[in-house]
Structure 1
Amino acid sequence: MSKKWSIAAIILYVVYAIGMYFYIFHGASGGVPATLKGTVADPETFMTERELLLSDDFSKIRNFLFFIITPFEWLVYFLILFTGLSRAFEKWVDTKWKLIKNGAYLFLLYLFTTIIFYPIDYYRYTLSKDYGISTQEFSSWMRDFVIDFWVNFGTTLLVVLVLYWLIQKSAKKWWFYAWLLTIPFAIFMMYIQPVVIDPLYNEFYPLKDKELEEKILSLADQANIPSEHVFEVDMSEKTNALNAYVTGIGDNSRIVLWDTTLNSLTDEEILFIMAHEMGHYVEKHIYIGIASYLVSILVGLWLIARIMPWIISRFGNVLKIEKISDIRSLPLFFVLVSFLLFLSNPLSNYISRVQETRADEYAMELTGNAEAAVSTFQNLAKAGLSEVNPPFLVKIFRYTHPPMLERINTIARYSDLNENESETETETEKEKQTKPKD
């Protein structure tokens, strides 16, 4: 029976992968609407012919990888269950100490899946190198890979040990208690991220350009944002892409600029990016994000608490799982989490795109520099070989930011609105001046 299920799962995945291949490479095409041809939003006006070709190829490969890697992860976990490998992991670490048993099981599972996915991770690294996005040497990439392994394993270990302890203590309400613990854990991780985790990968230091720092802090003061320092991070040895962000909460919050951004953009363009990030702060997007995250976790855990026992009761023999509290049920838990996250992508990405659009509008309100805004987006697209107008499925499942075509149009609309307002004000003034006095 398990063999038949394994074969069926593999066939289903292959059919899905073939379908996505034809959709990405031969079916869907975002393109540029005829009404926008030749405008500042048209990539042909700011990209070379070679950049256009590279962008098209690179985007299609990345989109295809996105749509097949996550289902491949589900397939791997199901095969681990179908073949009895999960039960074998549990037997290899058989001990009376539950915490040690569960921790050792997780290590074996995590190590095995890391090895399975390593060729994919390496291919993505070489792909980025081949297309000129990554500049990272293999030794540096492997160092980050190893750090990723231990950081992710450490956080996952803590979550899994607590989760299965709760399941054993309360079979019916474990999901709610787990959610309650998620709140302080998420806040704690956000607090330590800038000062503990991020420095493991890159070197952060105060912005060297003090004149630019003063401009950024002045902009922050205009937006009533408390900030004393701006940090830059050495990313040029790893990538040619551009980025800037605000991270952390409380005393550990900081504004961060990649050195690639500093080296590639003008001060006006950098100030627009900073104004965009400040827009997130002013609009309370970080708190909205935390609230949305906590609600989604609550709903997700509630669904898993109902779906997982049902699957085990119906297909436990095939999956070789007797009860949810067995640590060998962990692959099934991972599949359900990944599946629910994948299904929620369109909604979460939509909310994110709305917030990003609002941040763009705020940046225009704060800086009033449409020319710098447009050139910033054009440079970002060029540096990352971005697809300015992706196909529908790609947009709703992948894009947390509006495509560049939409972002540039937002700036264009805002500029037109300002021009119209200025014209109206001018006409009103003229009317006042020509109006006969009583």
Structure 2
Amino acid sequence: MVKKYGITALLLFGVYVFVMYVYIFHSNSGGIPESLKGTVADPHVFMSEHELYLSEEYSKIKNFLFFVATPFEWLVYLFILITGLSQAFESWIPMKNKSAILQNAVYLFLLSLFIFIVLFPLDYYSYFLSKSYGISTQIFTSWMRDNVIGFWISFGTTLVIVTVLYWLINKNPKKWWINAGLLMIPFSIFLMFIQPVVIDPLYNDFYPLTNKELETKILTLAEQANIPANHVYEVIMTEKTNALNAYVTGIGSNSRIVLWDTTLNRLSESEILFIMAHEMGHYVEKHIYFGIAGYILTTILGLWLTAKLMPWIIARFGRGLKIKRINAIHSLPLFFLITSFLLFASSPLSNYISRYQETRADEYALQLVADPSAAVSTFQELTKAGLNEVNPPLLVKWFRYSHPTMLERIINVANETRTKE
């Protein structure tokens, strides 16, 4: 039975990898329509031949890795179950009579460490790839430090969630998902509140923007948009990446407007103001609150589906998966597998909603700063800095792009400009 499950999973994974390889490396999807060749949307206009070559190569490898990594993770979860490793991790707990959170901590540490080690080569290759193509500037020790910090943050938050989750499953095996979903609301809001002041500074150093003249102009834009902001923060990213970014993070009194120093160093003032106006568009359009509401709804729906699927899978395949009952901690890899699959399957919808919100933010930025040329040059610089595809293949766009493609964003600027004229 175990051998059959393992061979079937490997064959399916092999077929999937082959299909995705052919689609990404040998299909004719993507490219620039003939009508747009030679325009500001054409990468041949604003990128050198070398940049174009690197962008095409890097994008294909990066996209292929994305589509392989998540199903490979499912394979790891399946391996942990069918080989009995999950049961072994549970049996190795030395504190059988201690509190549930201590027992869960030992099990989760063993599980997390095993997954971290197995997936490390893939993570390292992604880092190596980014460094080879000039996106990452981070030295290995710094990258490893970020990985270790991420491991412990993930471990801590997951431990709280898992302990509460299995307590709820023990109390009510059929209705646990309702209470779990409701408890995720305050927990998620709490994490969003503390992220800018507790979590983010563990990875990077944040300072008030040193260019006070630029800060004044950004805060003037914020005042025009009726956004209560007193400071703009600069984060030192030069030692980690050549990519560009700016964002608004946190909620309530802990919300922050943040600019990467790479953005400050590479973009002109008008381009930076456009980016800031874009971020303000998210605030004005209340996207963060729609995002919280959407997250809560999808979390509850996902937990409901997981609560339906887990008992069915255990009843049908429990013997082969070495799972005795749903409320045993060794069933956790199955929970992770199901939720990971649901997240992957729902990503086209969540990305579509995100792209709509990003389009709205672009439109708002154009109204606020009224500088379409700055918008176009910003999109061009973002493409060059990240070696991004201007018009990726359809599946890549559906599953990977939370922002509109650069082709769409530049076309939208042109359309907005024509509408005003």
Give the TM-score normalised by structure 1: 0.95
1:369 counterpart residue number = 371
Query: Aligned-pair distance for 1:170?
Result: 1.2
User: Distance in 2 between the 1:22 and 1:96 partners?
Assistant: 53
Partners of 1:28 and 1:334 lie apart in 2 by: 35
The Cα offsets for residues 297-338 of structure 1, whole Å up to 9 and x where unpaired, read as: 010001111110000001110001111001110000000000
- Paired residue for 2:112, among 110, 113, 120? 110
For residues 102 and 215 of structure 1, the distance between their equivalents in structure 2, rounded to whole angstroms, comes to: 51
Partner of 1:231: 233
Q: Distance in 2 between matches of 1:221 and 1:34?
A: 43
Question: Partner amino acid for 1:366?
Answer: L
* Partner of residue 97, structure 2: 96
1:5-404 matches, within 5 Å, as 5-93=5-93, 95-97=96-98, 98-404=100-406
Deviation string for 1:80-137 (max 9, x for gaps)?
1111111111111151333322221111000000000111111000100000000001
Residues in 1 aligned to 2:271 and 2:51: alpha-carbon distance in whole angstroms: 21
Question: Is the partner of 1:205 in helix, strand or coil?
Answer: strand
Distance 2:28 2:294 in 1: 31
Which structure has the larger Rg?
1
Q: Deviations over 1:340-391 (max 9, x none)?
A: 0001001000000000000000000001100100000000000000101000
Give the equivalent residue in structure 2 for 1:3.
3
* CA distance in 1: counterparts of 2:273 and 2:287, whole angstroms: 20
SS at match of 2:190: helix
User: Do the aligned residues in 2 keep the contact of 1:3 with 1:83 (CA within 8 Å)?
Assistant: no
For 1:251 and 1:28, locate their aligned partners in 2 and report how far apart those are by CA, in whole Å.
49
User: Partner letter of residue 97 of structure 2?
Assistant: K
* C-alpha separation in 2, matches of 1:263 and 1:22: 39
SS of 2:233's partner is strand
Which residue matches 1:434? none
Partner of 1:236, secondary structure, is: coil
Residue deviations 1:383-405, cap 9 Å, x none? 00010100010000100000000
3-state SS in 1 of match to 2:257: strand
Deviation at 1:7, TM superposition (A): 1.4
Q: Following TM superposition, by how much is the alpha carbon of 1:171 offset from its aligned partner in structure 2, in angstroms? A: 1.0
Report the more deviating stretch, 256-265 or 79-88.
79-88
Note if contact 1:279-1:362 (Cα within 8 Å) is conserved in structure 2: yes
Stretches (4+) displaced over 6 A: none
How big is the shift at 1:28? Answer: 4.3
Q: SS of 1:262's equivalent?
A: helix
Instruction: Give the distance between the partners of 1:28 and 1:11, measured in 2 at CA.
Output: 27
Unaligned residue ranges in structure 2 (runs of 5+): none
Task: Name the CA distance, whole Å, in 2 between partners of 1:4 and 1:348.
Answer: 35
Q: Aligned AA for 1:140?
A: S
Structure 2 CA distance, aligned partners of 1:5 and 1:143? 37
**What is the alpha-carbon distance in structure 1 between the residues aligned to residue 377 and residue 276 of structure 2?**
15
Q: Is the contact between residue 229 and residue 255 of structure 1 (CA under 8 Å) also seen in structure 2? A: yes
CA distance in 1, matches of 2:145, 2:311: 40
Q: Please give the secondary structure, in 2, of the residue aligned with 1:163.
A: helix
The CA distance in 1 between the partners of 2:195 and 2:104, in whole Å, is 26
CA distance in 1, matches of 2:340, 2:167: 21
| Gap runs ≥5 in structure 1 | 420-438
What is the CA-CA distance between 1:284 and the residue it aligns to?
Answer: 0.6
Q: CA RMSD in A?
A: 0.7
Paired with 1:320 and 1:28, the residues of 2 have a C-alpha distance of 44
Which secondary structure state, in structure 1, belongs to the residue aligned with residue 312 of structure 2?
Answer: helix
Matched length? 419
Secondary structure of the structure 2 residue equivalent to 1:45: helix
Is the 1:304–1:336 Cα contact (8 Å) retained in structure 2? Answer: yes
Task: Report how far residue 256 of structure 1 moved.
Answer: 0.2
Given that residues 233 and 257 in structure 1 are in contact (C-alpha distance below 8 angstroms), is that contact kept between their aligned partners in structure 2?
A: yes
Name the aligned partner's letter for residue 75 of structure 2. Answer: L
Q: Measure how far apart 1:173 and its partner are.
A: 1.4
Assess if the C-alpha contact under 8 Å between 1:41 and 1:408 holds in 2.
yes
